[in-house]
């Protein structure tokens, strides 16, 4: 019986692997058309200022609803795009769509920044600064409104080319942030040399902030580090009022997460900008924090 089960197990694993390979091949085959023919969309998630008590920014997050497979997680198809040489066209599309969504909000008088995630492959390709310039020109969005989010792990041993591209973007007036900060082992020496304005603290720290004193201590030291280096610190993945209270107590001024607002389609943005964000912050405003 054990032998049969073992055999069975091997066969099942083999089939599962086939399915993974099939799915990946399917995504790789269908992604170019999705990029070219309007198959993608962006969702925008608010970033809230604790002191300002309002939405200060929006992060653009790419979405793909596949006709047969349904919603594909971005972490899955962004990886496929990176491997298939499709990340540059994908991110060009996101930059265009996100800046086009921001422009009318700025025209209405909303004071907002836009965060766009960029892959290190796009930096390595050497055309990111040009692609950004083109999206800004087409939409009329000023460079100072655009924040480029780069995952920390890629900066650990970034080549000169990547650093030059980052410097060019910053020279042009864009804001540079390190995403998932705290997971990538960048050294402090390196961090202080990089042209970076914002640290987006990985949501893992936030997730444990209430019950793990060590996580809270790490958050406190990242906030301090930001202050020392003159960088703003954004907490990602804020889900509960307890996390919000702890972050506020530790001096973290910028928050993002489901508690403050989920990513929404462009059509729903107006509601987000007048929505219940203030409520989430007010709920926590107790005398002890004053
Ligand atoms: P990220 O840049 O760190 O984005 C934050 C992710 O956390 C988003 O996942 C967001 O929906 C999710 N999130 C926000 N608040 C909460 C919360 O309170 N709790 C939890 N559990 N999650 C929360 P999403 O949209 O699935 O995107 C995943 C990742 O895919 C992003 O992580 C980013 O690295 C990547 N990505 C998305 N769009 C792009 C893009 O245009 N280009 C590139 N290169 N990567 C992208
Ligand atoms: Mg991000
Ligand atoms: Mg992140
Ligand atoms: Mg990420």
DSSP H or E run through 253: none
CA of 109 to the centre of ligand 4 (A): 30
Q: What are the distances in angstroms from CA 210 to CA 94, 244, 282?
A: 35, 10, 19
Q: How far apart are the C-alpha atoms of 280 and 243, rounded to whole Å? A: 12
Q: Which residue has the tokens 């993608």?
A: 40
Q: Would you say the CB of residue 202 lies under 6 angstroms from ligand 1?
A: no
> Hey, is 111 helix, strand or coil?
coil
Structure confidence by residue, pLDDT tens digits, 27-83: 999 999 999 999 999 999 999 999 999 999 999 999 999 999 999 999 999 999 999
Ligand 1 mean position, distance from CA 74 (Å): 7
Q: What pLDDT, on the 0 to 100 scale, is given for residue 289?
A: 36
β-sheet bridge partners, residue 149 = 117, 177
For ligand 1, atom 21, the nearest C-alpha belongs to: 237
Per-residue pLDDT tens for 94-132?
999 999 999 999 999 999 999 999 999 999 999 999 999
Considering every ligand atom shown, identify the ligand nearest to the alpha carbon of residue 61 and give its number. 1
Q: How far is the CA of 289 from the centre of ligand 4 (A)?
A: 31
Question: In this structure, which residue's CA is closest to atom 40 in ligand 1?
Answer: 117
Is the distance from the beta carbon of residue 160 to the nearest atom of ligand 1 less than 6 Å? no
Spatial distance between the Cα atoms of 181 and 203, rounded to a whole number of angstroms? 9
Distance 180 CA to ligand 4 centre (A): 6
d(C-alpha 155, C-alpha 174), whole Å: 18
Q: What is the pLDDT of residues 230-278, one digit of tens each?
A: 999 999 999 999 999 999 999 999 999 999 999 999 999 988 898 656 5
Say which residue the tokens 């930096």 belong to. Answer: 123
Q: Measured in angstroms, how far is the CA atom of residue 80 from the centroid of ligand 3?
A: 19
Ligand 1 in reach of 140 Cβ (< 6 A): no
Give yes or no for residue 285 having a pLDDT over 60: no
Q: What is the ipTM of this complex?
A: 0.97
Nearest to 235 by CA among 266, 263, 259, 269: 259
* Cα distance between residue 191 and residue 178, in whole Å: 10
Question: Are 237 and 257 a contacting pair, CB within 8 Å?
Answer: yes
Task: Give me 82's structure tokens.
Answer: 């990176």
Determine whether the shortest distance from the Cβ of 119 to ligand 1 is under 6 A. yes
Tokens for 34, please give them: 């999705």
Which atom of ligand 1 lies nearest, measured to the CA of 259? 18
Determine the 3-state secondary structure of 16 from DSSP: helix
The model's pTM: 0.92
For 5-41, what is each residue's pLDDT tens digit?
Answer: 445 555 667 788 788 889 999 999 999 999 999 999 9
- Band the pLDDT of 287: cuts 50, 70, 90: very low
The tally of CA atoms less than 13 A away on the side-chain side of residue 201 is: 31
Q: Is the CB of 74 under 6 A from ligand 1?
A: yes
């Amino acid at each position: 019986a054990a032998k049969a089960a073992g055999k069975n197990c091997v066969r099942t694993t083999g089939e599962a692997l086939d399915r993974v390979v099939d799915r990946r091949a399917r995504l790789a085959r269908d992604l170019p058309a999705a990029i070219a023919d309007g198959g993608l969309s962006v969702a925008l998630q608010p970033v809230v200022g604790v002191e300002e008590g309002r939405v200060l920014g929006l992060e653009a997050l790419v979405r793909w609803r596949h006709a047969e497979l349904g919603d594909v997680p971005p972490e899955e198809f962004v990886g496929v795009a990176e491997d298939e040489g499709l990340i540059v066209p994908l991110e060009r599309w996101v930059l265009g769509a996100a800046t086009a969504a921001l422009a009318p909000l700025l025209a209405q008088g909303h004071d907002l920044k836009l965060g766009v995630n960029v892959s290190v492959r796009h930096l390595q390709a050497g055309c990111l600064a040009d692609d950004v310039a083109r999206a800004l020109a087409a939409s009329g969005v000023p460079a100072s409104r655009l924040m480029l989010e780069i995952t920390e792990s890629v900066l650990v041993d970034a080549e000169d080319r990547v650093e030059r591209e980052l410097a060019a973007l910053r020279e042009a007036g864009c804001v540079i942030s390190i995403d998932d900060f705290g997971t990538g082992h960048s050294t402090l020496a390196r961090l202080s040399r990089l042209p970076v304005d914002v640290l987006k603290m990985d949501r893992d720290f936030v997730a444990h902030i209430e019950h793990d004193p060590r996580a809270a201590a790490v958050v406190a030291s990242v906030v301090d580090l930001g202050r020392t280096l003159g960088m703003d610190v954004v907490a990602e993945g804020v889900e509960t009022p307890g996390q919000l209270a702890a972050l506020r107590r530790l001096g973290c001024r910028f928050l993002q997460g489901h508690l403050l607002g989920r990513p929404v389609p462009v059509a729903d943005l107006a509601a987000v900008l007048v929505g219940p964000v203030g409520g989430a912050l007010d709920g926590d405003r107790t005398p002890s924090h004053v």
